[in-house]
Amino acid sequence: MTDYAITPAAPASEPKTVPPFAVIPGAQVQEVLRGREKQVIELVEQTYRTHAAGDSVNPPSYFLRFPDRPSARIIALPASVGGDVGVDGIKWVSSFPDNVALGIPRASAVLILNDPATGYPFACMESSIISASRTAASAAAAADWLSRGRGRPRSIGFFGVGLIARYIHTFLDASGWSFDDIGVYDLLGASAEGFKGYLERSGTAARVTVHDGPEQLIRSSDVIVFATIAGQPHVHQVAWFEHNPLVLHVSLRDLAPEILLASTNILDDIDHCLKAGTSAHLVEQMVGHRDFVDGTLADVMAGSVSLADDRPVVFSPFGLGVLDLALGKYVYDEVARSGQLGVIDDFFSELRRYG
């Protein structure tokens, strides 16, 4: 184990060397991030600001789909982050819903970090934890900024109770959120009961209720977290949201267009979110414009978007690769600082141009 760190790109006049290549397993990622939820939320917020300022590159995600496995997909998220982060790279994340029936997680991922000076990759790390953490941090940041001025939420409902839901609860709890009531609903009753058990073991003082159906959960919650694997809208009833809740629409495809049209809509990135059959994309196709989008979370943080309190507020985050890279670089730097970086010697064996 050797102590390495990647620095920002050197001026063209300085000699460049190929950085060492390291592999960071999930155990190290967990060790770095455990108990640092507040720092991760701050990093995500700053990355949103960097992205909004134009100091990033975040091309459209590429979806690899399979004719013989229509429910499965693998997504490539290339990106580049400037600012204080200074890193390029890509996340390669798979979603195979049939894994759940096999007793293994639906999603798996790796993240590659590239040196901006030479283009050489300098790290490969397990990224399902990074992906879940940046998603949860994004949701927690949105919950904070989008609930300001609306009164303290007393209840939260989780619609879908997998890994992402667990991480969102953890990040909300770590950043000071508390609720009197927590509702749980999942199509699989055993999963709902399992999530209830997790909540009770977490030490929450809230009453935890497993609901028999979605209407009961939605109507009883001030904050609603959608974290499902839905491929198309399955919630159509606008009346269920007449109490004007804050909706963290993390899974992006649960809500019918009519619900979004009756809500204030905040996205993480407008161009990205209006793609790939998301609920917001379906609205755009239906109405032929984007006027239903009120702005981005970065706009809200900058104070350029005000939120009405007489309609639901829906946050739809597509999930930007710049967030994965920023958090991955943070993990890399912390592991390098600890002297526990697992470098693969001679990973690049052809380093002489003419042999």
**Which of the pair, 21 or 18, is modelled with greater confidence?**
21
0.85 cut: is pTM over it? yes
Q: Does residue 122 register a pLDDT over 50?
A: yes
Structure confidence by residue, pLDDT tens digits, 193-221: 999 999 999 999 999 999 999 999 999 99
Comparing CA positions, the residue from 250, 316, 243, 306 lying closest to residue 282 is: 316
Q: Does residue 279 register a pLDDT over 50?
A: yes
Q: Does residue 101 register a pLDDT over 90?
A: no
Q: Does residue 3 register a pLDDT over 50?
A: no
Q: Which fold has domain 22-130+321-338?
A: ornithine cyclodeaminase, domain 1 (3.30.1780)
In the prediction, which pLDDT does 14 show? 55
Q: Which fold has domain 135-316?
A: Rossmann fold (3.40.50)
Percent residues over pLDDT 90 in the chain: 84
Structure confidence by residue, pLDDT tens digits, 129-140: 999 999 999 999
Q: Does residue 1 register a pLDDT over 60?
A: no
Range(s) of the chain covered by CATH 3.40.50.720: 135-316
Q: Does residue 354 register a pLDDT over 80?
A: no
Comparing CA positions, the residue from 146, 142, 140, 143 lying closest to residue 168 is: 140
C-beta of residue 2 within 8 angstroms of C-beta of residue 309: no
In the prediction, which pLDDT does 311 show? 96
In which band, very low, low, confident or very high, does the pLDDT at 355 lie, cut at 50, 70 and 90? low
Q: Read off the pLDDT of each residue in 113-135 and give the average, rounded to a whole number.
A: 96
Range(s) of the chain covered by CATH 3.30.1780.10: 22-130+321-338
In the prediction, which pLDDT does 350 show? 79
Comparing CA positions, the residue from 204, 262, 47 lying closest to residue 141 is: 47
Q: Read off the pLDDT of each residue in 139-168 and give the average, rounded to a whole number.
A: 94
In the prediction, which pLDDT does 11 show? 52
Q: Tell me the sheet residues that pair with 314.
A: 247, 265
Q: Read off the pLDDT of each residue in 268-273 and give the average, rounded to a whole number.
A: 95
Q: Read off the pLDDT of each residue in 169-173 and give the average, rounded to a whole number.
A: 97
